[in-house]
Amino acid sequence: MQQLVSVPPVSFAGVAWRDYHGVVLPYSAGDGPRIVRGDLASGFARTPLGALLAAVHVAVRANAQWGPKVFEPTIKDQVVGPDTASLLAATQGQYDKRRGHLPNGTALGRAYVVLEGFRWQGYSSDTASLDLVSAGPGDSDVTVRAVTRLQLQWKDDDWRVIAPSGGTWGGSAASIPSPDGYVRFPNGGAGS
């Protein structure tokens, strides 16, 4: 087993930030995603930045917000672990509950979230663990922040996110008052 490095170096030089339905995501020519087809993204380098980019892209796309055309292949192809089927079922359930009168398969609209930063829990060329900070609107114009633990595994020549325990992201997320103590994304994740 490889030794985990607690704080691997990551540089955002050369990283471009692009809008993905209301969420600004990072893209790197060298570290990924190298394959972007429609709303799907894969092909991340076996580097700390590649693991970070994979965590961000997979976690964002494995969400009911984008509809089953996005979350189904993302979860089926880029999420591993014993709770993968539970994550897919829970995401489909959230989608069905929230779509109302929209035709099945339709995205639920834009997201209103900003990825603010991250903190490594550990990294090796085979596994990675990090906390991702996101912020969005709450009640009474208050910004609500959450930190979500994401774990990854290098498998079949790409990073795969390990499904959260119990099959829901809520179980691996917690509310936080500020992004202090986390590595901030350039411009607070709003791109450059």
Residue-wise pLDDT for 114-132, tens only, equals: 999 999 999 999 999 999 9
- CA pair distance 88, 37, nearest whole angstrom: 21
Q: To the nearest 5 percent, what fractions of the chain are helix, strand and coil?
A: 30, 35, 35
| Count of the separate structural domains present in the chain | 1
**Has residue 162 been placed in a domain?**
yes
- The answer to whether 71 and 64 are in contact (CB under 8 A) is yes
Query: Which residues, 6 or more positions from 62, have their beta carbon under 8 angstroms from its beta carbon?
Result: 71, 74, 75, 78, 79, 87, 91, 161
- Pick from 62, 61, 66, 60: which is nearest to 106 by CA? 66
Q: Residue 7: pLDDT above 90?
A: no
- Mean residue pLDDT across the chain: 92
Residue 183: give its domain's CATH number: 3.10.450
**Has residue 3 been placed in a domain?**
no
**Has residue 111 been placed in a domain?**
yes
- Pick from 95, 58, 96, 94: which is nearest to 77 by CA? 58
- Find the range with the poorest average confidence among 2-16, 53-67, 105-119, 159-173: 2-16
Confidence grade of residue 68 (pLDDT, cut at 50, 70, 90): very high
**Has residue 8 been placed in a domain?**
no
- pTM to 2 decimal places: 0.93
- CA pair distance 54, 171, nearest whole angstrom: 20
Q: What value does the mean pLDDT take over residues 60-64?
A: 96
Q: Which domain holds residue 148?
A: 15-189
- DSSP assigned state of 47: S
Amino acid symbol at 125:
S
**Has residue 4 been placed in a domain?**
no
- Pick from 170, 190, 176: which is nearest to 64 by CA? 170
- CA pair distance 17, 39, nearest whole angstrom: 15
- The answer to whether 131 and 182 are in contact (CB under 8 A) is yes
- CA pair distance 136, 101, nearest whole angstrom: 25
**Has residue 83 been placed in a domain?**
yes
**Has residue 1 been placed in a domain?**
no
- CA pair distance 125, 154, nearest whole angstrom: 7
